[in-house]
Chain A
Amino acid sequence: MPDPWRFHGGVHPDDGKALSAQGAIRKAPLLEKYLVPLQQHIGAPPKLVVAKKATVRRGQVLAEPGGFVSAAIHSPTSGTVSDITECIGPGGSPIPAVEITSDGQDTADTCLEPIADWENAAPDVLKKRVGEAGIVGMGGAAFPTLVKLSPPLAKPIDTLILNGAECEPCLTADYRLMLEMPDRVVAGARIITRILGVKQTWIAIEANKPDAEACVRQKAEGTGIGVQSLRVRYPQGAEKQLIYALTGRKVPAGGLPMDVGCVVQNVGTAVAIAEAVLDGKPLYERVTTVTGTPVVNPGNWRFRVGTPFRAALTLAGGVKEDPAKMISGGPMMGLTVYSLDVSIVKSTSGILLLGPSEVSQFRSGACLHCGRCVDACPMLLTPATLSVQIENERFDLAEKWNAFDCIECGCCAYVCPAKRPLVQHLRRAKAEIMVRRRAAQAAAKR
């Protein structure tokens, strides 16, 4: 299948992956304390089920799902619940958190049995395991995976796509995963294929990772899973662009991948699912890239959830120079954080530090109407018009101009010569439109 469908727009930033690409995944040593945030996914906050001073084991449930769109949270190690407090969440707002003080034993909880004979296990059993293991999308959005794997009957799914594009610059966590544990990636793909009962499964990898592609291709041979090389273009790994590249199907505005019969899962999620099924291991650790020019030893580590950024950076040898910016995630879609006490959560794909020379202290100007953002937008929006509408707080107009379709990929802000904070405007509009829609819904109910 030679590159059949190219999405519109996009950009081609310097990928910056060389810094951390050679950093094989290492296991982070056990810490004394973990601060586990109690909201690590999109959706309803989970319900805390442990009390203060309770003894917990590694993998024990700390919080149960608080609704259908929610996910359980498990203890990263064995020890005691030393405090129930709050921490700064990845979005910057304070969220409840549990502090676990390690007892140094790291005793595993054994409530989840490995499902050895998964190839013959009922899809529902496997699906249940995904929920029990608290698995969420590990690409960054942190959407509860169980929900994605439970499509309504009216929306038949025929295609599963495993996203190994990792188009986000600087991050190499998925690349290392595919290189080092391709068997787990393929096993995960097969488990999800079994759960969904789909006809075709693809593992999609951007063409700039030929070695990872070769590894996965070798393991996938004879399993009926296709491996597809993708054009190198940001945001090739965005759900809708990926579906288009592989199947030529276009997700309608305001729709979901399931509307065109597709489910997209990150390769990291597939590995987590494989571990949950084959090892009976809930999602309490993940591979995270620690990188950036100021970092002494950039690389990839397997961090437990609740590890503070401070500990992660110490492990990477600290910094050579004072960083100007710290980002949770990659440079295009990541969220700026300023506190070293922020914890690594299930969706933290990377910790990126930028040096003073890499951060422009711009003052944004008025829109020049050059239209570059329109050319760059992979969702066919007009960020220039939208940003002006949003500056004037005309969210009704912004909604009409499909602000809600924005995937916040950052292409528009990347190309803007006036350095306008277009993504921030759109994020604000999306938040505001969401509030309005909820209000309208509540009003309609009354």
Chain B
Amino acid sequence: MTGAIFVLTVMGLLLGLVIGITVKFFGTEPDPKVEKIEALLPNANCGGCGFAGCSDFARALAGGKAEPNQCPSTNTETAAQIAALLGVALGVRQPKVAVVLCGGDNTKAAKAALYNGVNDCRAATLVAGGAKACLRGCLGLGACARACPFKAIEITGASLAVVHADVCTGCGKCVATCPRKLIRLVPTSATLHVLCSSPEKGAAKRKKCSAACIGCQKCVKAAAGAVSMEGALARVNYDHQPSPPGAIAEVCPTHCLQPALLDVTPVPTPAASASEVAHA
């Protein structure tokens, strides 16, 4: 018994000494900045920032790969202290959500051709620009949905991408995948969307899609600054949102102006409702 205690004690001392010497001669100096940041962090290792614990997050902060307000457990004051330490401006974290600015699903937008190729929007645009008559319409082949890490984008039965705002985290991964640049990140507080992105003239658009913005400007008059015209296309001013949006949305003759909903299901137009049910 005493032998065992003796052997283990001696070995512990010896090995500890060897490690100590190694660290002394070969160890890397810890970054003082990282240490200071670590001291400010809650050190609860909750993982809420997306990094493996507080020290990992501290290293990412020091390396400029993270932002102080990514930590959900610190208050603004501490975050400001860390920001000051890093010498960066503390960005105001405005929660964002993605929205697909097209409402022309199969029941509303005309098809110009039958597409039978690679099942991906970016590949489809390489073949005569895609099968949809509107060259700015959602192709509905789901490149954005596949790119979404949170499965927040659904391709409806009528081939239209819609974002479920309650699931969307606003990470923006989908934005770059859309070959037609239809996806935009907007503040979660947005209450209205113009679900059309075609700059074509109203009459030309109307021929291709019954849900197109025809540029009638009724909404501009009704919304008092929340909607403005950009050529032949109405655009929502996302910094300036009306609070009950329903009344404004109702003036839109093509229903392309839509109130933002948490769980978006395309609002059927009276003419299209029967076929929509068939698709669902």
Chain B CB within 8 A of A21 CB: no
**In the complex, are the beta carbons of A424 and B118 less than 8 A apart?**
yes
Does A30 make an interface contact (CB < 8 A)? no
Contacts of A43 in B (CB 8 A): none
CB distance from B71 to the nearest CB of A (A): 29
Does B184 touch A at the CB level, under 8 Å? no
Q: Which residues of B contact A427 (CB under 8 A)?
A: 123, 126
Contact of A338 among B112, B118, B122 (CB under 8 A): B112
Does B125 touch A at the CB level, under 8 Å?
Answer: yes
User: Interface 1/0s, chain B 157-173, versus A by CB < 8 A?
Assistant: 00000000000000000
- Alpha-carbon separation in the docked complex, A336 to B117 (Å): 12
Consensus secondary structure, chain B interface: loop
Contacts of A336 in B (CB 8 A): 113, 127-128
Q: Is B129 in contact with A92, judged by CB distance below 8 angstroms?
A: yes
Number of B interface residues in the complex (CB < 8 A): 16
Q: Does chain B have a CB within 8 A of A88?
A: yes
Residue from the set A88, A336, A338, A428 with the largest chain B CB neighbour count within 10 Å: A338
Does A66 count as interface, using CB distance less than 8 angstroms?
no
Complex interface residues of chain A between 311 and 336 (CB less than 8 A to chain B): 335-336
Query: Considering the complex, which residues of chain B in the window 219-263 have a beta carbon less than 8 Å from any beta carbon of chain A?
Result: none
Within 8 A of A (CB), among B103-146: 112-113, 116-118, 120, 122-123, 125-131, 135
Q: Verify if A425 is at the interface (C-beta below 8 Å from B).
A: yes
Q: When A and B form their complex, what is the total count of cross-chain residue pairs whose Cβ atoms lie within 8 Å?
A: 52
Of B113, B118, B128, most A-chain CB atoms within 10 Å: B128
Shortest distance between the CB of B265 and any CB in chain A (Å): 29
- Report A89-113 residues with CB < 8 Å from chain B CB: 91-94
In the complex, A125 Cα to B112 Cα: how many Å?
Answer: 47
Closest beta carbon of chain B to A309's beta carbon, Å: 12
Identify the closest chain B residue to A429 (Cβ).
B123
Query: Chain B's nearest CB lies how many Å from the CB of A141?
Result: 16
A88 to B122, CA, bound (A): 17
In the complex, residue of chain A having the shortest beta-carbon distance to the beta carbon of B120: A428
Given A92-B128, A93-B135, A338-B128, A362-B122 contact (CB < 8 Å): no
Could you give, for residues 260-271 of chain B, a 1 whenever the CB lies within 8 Å of some chain A CB and a 0 otherwise?
Answer: 000000000000
Point out the residues of chain A lying under 8 angstroms from B112, CB to CB: 338-339
Question: B117 contacts which chain A residues (CB < 8 A)?
Answer: 421, 424
Of chain A, the residue at the smallest CB distance from B126 is: A427
Closest-CB distance, A321 to chain B (whole angstroms) = 17
**Which A residues lie within 8 Å of B130 (CB)?**
92
Cβ contact within 8 Å between A91 and B123: no
Least CB distance, A99 to chain B, in whole angstroms: 14
Are B123 and A338 in touch, CB under 8 angstroms? Answer: no
- Measured between beta carbons, the chain B residues less than 8 angstroms from A92 are 125-130, 135
Q: In the complex the two chains form, what is the Cα distance from A268 to B133 in whole Å? A: 34
Interface string of B164-199 (1 = CB under 8 A from A): 000000000000000000000000000000000000
Contact between chains at A338 and B135 (CB < 8 Å): no
Pair B126/A431 contact, Cβ less than 8 Å? yes
CB atoms of A337 and B128 under 8 A apart: yes
Whether the Cβ atoms of A93 and B129 lie closer than 8 Å is yes
Within 8 A of B (CB), among A25-77: none
A361 within 8 A of B: yes
Residue-by-residue, is A409-446 near B (CB-CB < 8 Å gives 1, otherwise 0)? Answer: 00000000000010011011001100000000000000
CB-nearest residue of chain A to B177: A393
Minimum CB–CB distance from A374 to chain B (whole Å) comes to 20
Distance of B260 from chain A, by nearest CB (Å): 29
C-alpha gap A431/B120 in the complex (Å): 14
* Nearest chain B residue, comparing its CB with the CB of A91: B129
Name the B residues within 8 Å of A362 (CB-CB). Answer: 116
When chains A and B are docked, how far (Å) is the Cα of A178 from the Cα of B162?
Answer: 55
Q: How far is the CA of A432 from the CA of B125 in the complex (A)?
A: 13
In the bound complex, how far is the Cα of B133 from the Cα of A94, in angstroms? 12
Judge whether A88 and B123 touch: CB under 8 Å: no
Chain A residues, Cβ within 8 Å of B128: 91-92, 335-339
Residue from A336, A361, A363, A432 with most neighbouring chain B CB atoms (10 Å):
A336
Cα-based distance from A92 to B139 in the complex (angstroms): 14
Q: Considering the complex of A and B, which 3 residue pairs feature the smallest CB-CB distances, nearest first? A: A92-B129, A338-B113, A92-B128
Q: List 27 A-B contacts (CB under 8 A).
A: A88-B129, A91-B126, A91-B129, A92-B126, A92-B127, A93-B125, A93-B129, A335-B127, A335-B128, A336-B127, A336-B128, A337-B128, A338-B128, A339-B112, A363-B116, A421-B117, A424-B117, A424-B123, A424-B126, A425-B118, A425-B123, A427-B126, A428-B118, A428-B122, A428-B126, A431-B122, A431-B126
* Given A93-B129, A93-B135, A428-B120, 18 extra CB contacts under 8 A: A91-B128, A91-B129, A92-B126, A92-B127, A92-B135, A336-B113, A336-B127, A336-B128, A337-B128, A338-B112, A338-B113, A339-B128, A362-B116, A421-B118, A424-B118, A424-B126, A431-B122, A431-B126
